[in-house]
Amino acid sequence: MVKVYAITLVLGTLGLLVFILGGTLAVNLGRPEKDPGERYGLAGKAVVGAVVGFGMGGLSAEFSPLDFGWPTSLMIAVAAAGLSTLWVRYATSQSRSG
């Protein structure tokens, strides 16, 4: 499962970079319709957050000194994905109000 978590974390990090750099490039070029954050909205941001959270949570659980089994690590990874989705929703609402 370590490979699954590692691949997921790499894909999530790439998605995060696409959102950040794509948004920056779209704003600087004056083409806000090309901004991935606007194009895919909150759902796209939540998916990227969930993928990153799943990878980070799974790798953290697999390499924990508590020596969890793979089912426990999977449950921790799923919980991390859910919590990161909640964080994305919170952070997005904060950036809109401020």
pLDDT of 37-77, one tens digit each?
889 999 999 999 999 999 999 999 999 999 999 999 999 99
Average pLDDT, the chain: 93
The distance between the two most distant Cα atoms of the chain, rounded to a whole number of Å, is: 51
What is the reported pLDDT for 89? 93
Residue 95 has pLDDT above 80, yes or no: no
Q: Is 41 left (phi over 0), alpha (psi -120 to 50) or beta?
A: left
What is the reported pLDDT for 33? 87
The set of residues, in sequence order, having a beta carbon less than 8 Å from that of 61 and lying 6+ positions away, is 68, 72, 73, 76, 77
Tell me if residue 64 falls in helix, strand or coil. coil
